[in-house]
Amino acid sequence: MTGIRTICIISNSHSTNDVRLYHKLGKSLCSLARVYVLGARGVGSMMESYSDENEAVRTGQAVNKPTRIIVSGFTPNLRLVSLYRQAKKLKPDLVICIEPLTMLVGLRLQKKLGCKLCYDVHEYYTSAHGEKYSFPFNYLFGGLYYLFEHSLQEKMDLTIAVNDDIFRLFNLKTLAEEKKEQAEGRSFVNRYLSQRSTLGVLCPNYPTSDIWHDDLTDCGIGNLLPNTQFDTIYLGGLTEERGIIKLLQAINILNRRHTRFKALFVGTFHSEAFKQKFFNYLMDYNLNSVVFWRDSVPHDKVCSILRQVKIGFSVLHPRYKRYKKALPLKVLEYLSAGLPVVANDFPQLQQIIEKNQLGYCVPFHSTDIAEAVEKLMSMTDAEREAMTARCRKAVQDNYMWSTVEPPLLEAVSYVLDIGTEQPDA
């Protein structure tokens, strides 16, 4: 097959400017195809890359950045209809489904257009769904959601797994295993056993290289507060399950011990009720001049803010078991910018942070969090510089998106039956 292929990444809840969808999957896949990111909110329209589209048609070369399209709908379920209608107009060769429900949209598009389907699993949807209910209904409804998600995933041509645990959970096979089966042939028993084993690729949510550039001239937003250095930062969604109140309790302890302590929170509140709770806490404990908040910033603007901070926070509520299996992107972003981290004492985080002496992993207690911050604040300049160098080196050597991209492109090329270089039209 020749000509420019079309890939649609569809989501009924994520932003079109989502870091993984747009800045990682979308930009990487642009080397293979024309890519559209369809989402619930964010940046973009059909005209966003109009000049790029014209250039692609004229030269026969794939565009170099995704086009973002916001779909209508007041609720995630209503957006499914809009996703289907918009994607059908684009006539994609491959649809990448982000949430379980969007796989229903993908299957409908496959029936209509004959396109290939991919499921990007970067969250524990089954666990998150079960957590909405109390015992014993959490196991009942979580189990039903598990069966629902897996029944749809088995119909996908490719599944992208964010970690080894999810790769095993969906019984995925690598591209090498798939090619070996095709080359050697399979017995009747092996064919039967492999029916429920689908093609997968491991694609961790590692940071891109632009996060740790020293040159801040391209960040475009300047300093949050001129000549202000923050002691700590939390970067990400603001909810109670992300441990935000526990962090405020630790900051209250640190404020009593250090008169000029300053903490920064960067992210979006997921509910007005929790936003009110957050600011009420600041009022109750007189932290208004200690804790600063600003809304989320674009992915390529994060570097400027991280340069104004000494220590990164990622202390999630251990009540949510899925967090114990995850590697938060914010941890790697902190480290890639040279910030030591105070994080949960989960095994995966301990392997990275404590083994490499990049900060501290602590229990979910405000006093433990505060003590870990104090240890990092008490370092000498030489010790701080050494830890900063270790943080950057650990990420750049082992956890960069550039190491993930080649196997992703190889798997997508295999599904679409194209080479890694897009042929001329």
pLDDT digits (tens, 9 = 90+) for 233-283: 999 999 999 999 999 999 999 999 998 999 999 999 989 999 999 999 999
Are 145 and 123 in contact by the 8 Å Cβ rule? The answer is: no
Residue 292 above 90 pLDDT?
A: yes
**Greater confidence, 206 or 223?**
206
CB atoms within 10 A of CB 59: 12
Tokens of 322: 């899925």
Closest CA to 18 of 37, 34, 32, 45: 37
**What is the chain's mean pLDDT, rounded?**
86
Closest CA to 25 of 352, 267, 299: 299
pLDDT digits (tens, 9 = 90+) for 9-63: 999 989 898 889 999 999 999 999 999 999 987 665 544 444 444 444 444 554 4
Are 10 and 390 in contact by the 8 Å Cβ rule? The answer is: no
The pLDDT of residue 225 is 57
Residue 416 above 70 pLDDT?
A: yes
Looking at the DSSP bridge assignments, the partners of residue 293 are 265
Choice among 78-82, 191-195, 201-205, 240-244 with the minimum mean pLDDT: 191-195
d(CA 310, CA 306): 8
CB atoms within 10 A of CB 135: 8
Exposure pattern of 103-128 as b/e (b: 16+ CB <10 Å)? Answer: bebbbbbbeeeebbbbbbbbebbbbe
Contacts of 356 (CB under 8 A, 6+ apart): 390, 394
d(CA 200, CA 411): 8
The pLDDT of residue 227 is 61
Q: Which amino acid is located at 216 in the chain? A: L
The pLDDT of residue 50 is 41
**Greater confidence, 353 or 41?**
353
The pLDDT of residue 1 is 46
Q: Which amino acid is located at 141 in the chain? A: F
Average pLDDT over residues 61-87: 85
Domains and CATH numbers, the chain: 5-206+401-416 (3.40.50), 209-398 (3.40.50.2000)
Exposure pattern of 269-291 as b/e (b: 16+ CB <10 Å)? Answer: beeeebeeebeebbeebebeebb
Q: How confident is the model at residue 127 (pLDDT cuts 50, 70, 90)?
A: confident
Evaluated on CA atoms 305, 306, 310, 312, the torsion sign reads positive
Task: Determine the Cα angle at 121 with ends 352 and 142, to 5°.
Answer: 100
Residue 305 above 80 pLDDT?
A: yes
pLDDT digits (tens, 9 = 90+) for 293-302: 998 887 777 8
Which segments within 98-166 are labelled E, that is strand?
116-121, 158-161
CB atoms within 10 A of CB 6: 18
Give the ranges where 8-136 is alpha helix by DSSP (H): 27-29, 50-59, 76-90, 100-113, 125-130
Omega of the bond prior to 207 within 30 degrees of 0, cis?
no
Residue 410 above 60 pLDDT?
A: yes
Q: Which amino acid is located at 99 in the chain? A: E
How much of the chain exceeds pLDDT 90, in percent? Answer: 63
Contacts of 218 (CB under 8 A, 6+ apart): 300
The pLDDT of residue 424 is 44
Contacts of 74 (CB under 8 A, 6+ apart): none
Q: Which amino acid is located at 190 in the chain? A: N
Average pLDDT over residues 389-405: 93
Q: How confident is the model at residue 196 (pLDDT cuts 50, 70, 90)?
A: low
Are 30 and 84 in contact by the 8 Å Cβ rule? The answer is: no
Residue 360 above 90 pLDDT?
A: yes
